Chain A
Amino acid sequence: EAAVTQSPRSKVAVTGGKVTLSCHQTNNHDYMYWYRQDTGHGLRLIHYSYVADSTEKGDIPDGYKASRPSQENFSLILELASLSQTAVYFCASSDRQSNERLFFGHGTKLSVL
């Protein structure tokens, strides 16, 4: 089973502060993603990356930046956290042959106060 590890598991941030969420995968997958889940709703794609040192915008990129310094690591950065960014964030990975089967981490619960 693919392993995707997210840190921290939960975080409380202040409005206007900077937040960095980290993701590490040990499966040699090329593709990595950041999704956001709001209570009672499905997941929405924020940013994704197909190769190290390159990131792409997903469906809801505003207010977020991403960084992929290596194949294994993918970070999500909130430069100026806002109340509306309170959510659970999931990192996922997949390989080119998996036909879009995503392997998700356990998620990071972010509360912005």
Chain B
Amino acid sequence: QQKVQQSPESLSVPEGGMASLNCTSSDRNFQYFWWYRQHSGEGPKALMSIFSDGDKKEGRFTAHLNKASLHVSLHIRDSQPSDSALYFCAASGSTNTGKLTFGDGTVLTVKP
């Protein structure tokens, strides 16, 4: 079983809309989460991390973590066509090893 599972596989939202992406870990050792974004033909880029229960907001992006259920979500408000990309959730059991376990990703399409 994959240790980090993402849903949905793909998502389409209108420009200006809200996009919501989900991620769950099946490994209770994974307590630390990252969201990465990958545009076509490029390497992934880190969006934000979340290590504590609750919400973390950075600009139009809000991450929410529930450690009890090992569920993390990413919400993108006022979505823009430039947000169209592959979004990865990544998890780790520590914050200083760089050894991340990635989910398979969610393809987000923002339609003008």
Q: Is the interface of B mostly helix, strand, loop or mixed?
A: loop
CA distance A48 to B92 in the complex (A): 15
**Number of contact residues on B: which range applies?**
20 to 34
Q: Is A44 an interface residue (CB 8 A)?
A: yes
When the two chains form their complex, are residues B49 and A100 in contact, meaning their CB atoms are under 8 A apart? yes
List B contacts of A43 (CB < 8 A).
Answer: 44, 88, 100, 102
Q: How far is the CA of A73 from the CA of B86 in the complex (A)?
A: 28
Chain A interface size range: 20 to 34
B104 to A40, Cβ gap below 8 A? yes
A90→B46 contact, CB < 8 A = no
> In the complex, what distance in Å separates the CA atom of A71 from the CA atom of B102?
25
Taking a contact as CB atoms under 8 Å apart, the answer to whether A102 and B104 are in contact is no
Q: A: which residues have CB within 8 A of B?
A: 4, 31, 33, 35, 40-45, 48, 58-59, 90, 92, 94, 96, 99-107
A-B contact pairs, 6 of them (CB 8 A): A43-B44, A45-B99, A99-B32, A100-B92, A100-B96, A107-B42
